[in-house]
């Protein structure tokens, strides 16, 4: 590659909207100079360069909506936060940039950011995911190949991400259904319910819990307070054992013991056979912990265990 010009002041291209400058050994100061040459660019892609710092003066990128910095050795989230000076930023890609932690000093940063790509980094704590809930417009997240995803099964990790980011609508390219969010949030309450109950009389521990579980109080307001006796009973259930489930159709009911690995597709077929139904039924899961909450089982590829179904829970069968 030839040398970049030094007399940027002689150049100005106000009509250019998209700029791609990947793998050019650029630093951020050079990118800022390009921002002055192309003042109204709305898409800037500068992946695989040598960018380490992101100091950004106010007013430099007034129209920039898409910024791709994938593969640059940025490292610190405090550098990413400096991009908040870009007022219209909607899509930010910081994949594979060495980020280890996410945190915001202010709660009103990136007011227009809708999509964030942070895959292939070194994020290892759930509090970082909770911080993303502060992005009020965030609806699309790409979060793959980070160490925290090895702390639980992949399905559980997906649920935890959904529960921690309230406005999220798309995760890793998959559109989130309303029943999927409801199930994730409700399972989140159950997963940490005993811990939440144990800190209620200790102000310091309660504050620490709230920091670790950013939306738990909100979810309690939404779904109600968990019952300690039921939570304790559910904690003793062995995941690999058979689950005793009550199928209910109109005035009829049938009890079946099922493995948590059974697919919803097979549940539908089983329910149809149990009640001699002429067509495929619709199934809804009702937990004994909160009988007023119904979760539709409409993803036939999901396992029963994905919904954290436990002994004594009901499956409502309708046509």
pLDDT, tens digit, for every residue of 224-235? 887 766 665 555
Reported as a pLDDT band with limits 50, 70 and 90, residue 309 is: confident
What is the arithmetic mean of pLDDT over 303-316?
Answer: 85
Q: Can you tell me the distance from the alpha carbon of 78 to that of 103, in angstroms, rounded to the nearest whole number?
A: 8
Q: Of the ranges 4-18, 42-56, 74-88, 303-317, which one carries the lowest mean pLDDT score?
A: 4-18
Q: What is the pLDDT of residue 172?
A: 93
Tokens 């406005």, residue located: 167
CATH architecture for residues 243-318: Roll (3.10)
Residue 123, classed as helix, strand or coil, is coil
> How many CB atoms within 10 Å of residue 292?
8
Reported as a pLDDT band with limits 50, 70 and 90, residue 214 is: very high
Q: Can you tell me the distance from the alpha carbon of 69 to that of 54, in angstroms, rounded to the nearest whole number?
A: 10
Contact call for residues 139 and 169 (beta carbons, < 8 A): yes
What is the arithmetic mean of pLDDT over 59-71?
Answer: 97
Pairing label, strands 140-142, 252-258: unpaired
| Residue length of the chain | 319
Q: Can you tell me the distance from the alpha carbon of 189 to that of 217, in angstroms, rounded to the nearest whole number?
A: 10
pLDDT digits over 15-60, tens only? Answer: 999 999 999 999 999 999 999 999 999 999 999 999 999 999 999 9
Q: What is the pLDDT of residue 312?
A: 85
Q: Can you tell me the distance from the alpha carbon of 311 to that of 241, in angstroms, rounded to the nearest whole number?
A: 10
pLDDT higher than 50, residue 84: yes
Q: Which residue has the higher pLDDT, 95 or 186?
A: 95
pLDDT higher than 60, residue 246: yes
How far does the chain reach from its first CA to its final CA, in angstroms? 67
Q: What is the pLDDT of residue 145?
A: 92
Of 177, 151, 216, residue with least CA distance to 298? 177
Of 199, 159, 192, residue with least CA distance to 176? 159
Contacts 24+ apart (CB under 8 A), 179-184: 179/295, 179/296, 179/298, 180/299, 182/293, 182/295, 183/159, 183/285, 183/295, 183/306, 183/307, 183/308, 184/158, 184/159, 184/160
Q: What is the pLDDT of residue 243?
A: 85
Q: Which residue has the higher pLDDT, 11 or 138?
A: 138
Total-model pTM: 0.73
- DSSP designation for 263: B
pLDDT digits over 110-159, tens only? Answer: 999 999 999 999 999 999 999 999 999 999 999 999 999 988 888 889 99
Query: Which fold does the domain 8-178 belong to in CATH?
Result: 3.80.10
pLDDT higher than 50, residue 240: no
Token representation of residue 225? 């307070």
> How many CB atoms within 10 Å of residue 145?
13
- DSSP designation for 118: -
pLDDT higher than 60, residue 237: no
Domain assignments of the chain as residue spans, ordered by start: 8-178, 243-318
Give the mean pLDDT of the chain. 89
């Amino acid at each position: 590659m030839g040398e970049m010009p030094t007399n940027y002041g002689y150049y100005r291209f106000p009509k250019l909207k998209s700029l791609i400058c990947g793998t050019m050994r650029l630093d951020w100061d050079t990118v800022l100079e390009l921002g002055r040459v192309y003042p109204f660019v709305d898409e800037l892609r500068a992946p695989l360069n040598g960018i380490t710092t992101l100091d950004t003066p106010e007013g430099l990128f007034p129209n920039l909506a898409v910024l791709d910095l994938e593969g640059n050795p940025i490292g610190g989230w405090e550098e990413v936060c400096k991009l908040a000076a870009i007022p219209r930023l909607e899509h930010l890609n910081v994949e594979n940039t060495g980020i280890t932690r996410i945190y915001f000093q202010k709660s009103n940063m990136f007011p227009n950011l809708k999509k964030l790509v942070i895959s292939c980094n070194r994020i290892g704590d759930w509090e970082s995911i909770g911080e993303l809930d502060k992005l009020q417009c965030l609806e699309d997240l790409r979060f793959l190949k980070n160490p925290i995803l090895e702390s639980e099964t992949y399905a559980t990790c997906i649920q935890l991400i959904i529960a921690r980011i309230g406005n999220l609508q798309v995760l890793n390219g998959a559109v989130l259904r309303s029943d999927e969010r409801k199930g994730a949030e409700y399972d989140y309450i159950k997963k940490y319910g005993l811990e939440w109950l144990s800190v209620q009389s200790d102000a310091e521990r309660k504050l620490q819990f709230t920091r670790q579980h950013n939306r738990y109080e909100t979810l309690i307001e939404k779904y109600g307070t968990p019952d300690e006796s039921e939570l304790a009973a559910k904690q003793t259930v062995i995941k690999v054992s058979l689950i005793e489930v009550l199928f209910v159709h109109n005035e009829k009911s049938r009890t079946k013991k099922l493995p948590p690995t059974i697919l919803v597709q097979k549940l539908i077929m089983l329910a149809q056979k149990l009640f001699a139904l002429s067509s495929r039924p619709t199934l809804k899961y009702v937990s004994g912990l909160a009988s007023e909450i119904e979760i539709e089982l409409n993803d036939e590829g999901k396992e029963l265990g994905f919904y954290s179904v436990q002994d004594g829970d009901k499956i409502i069968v309708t046509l």
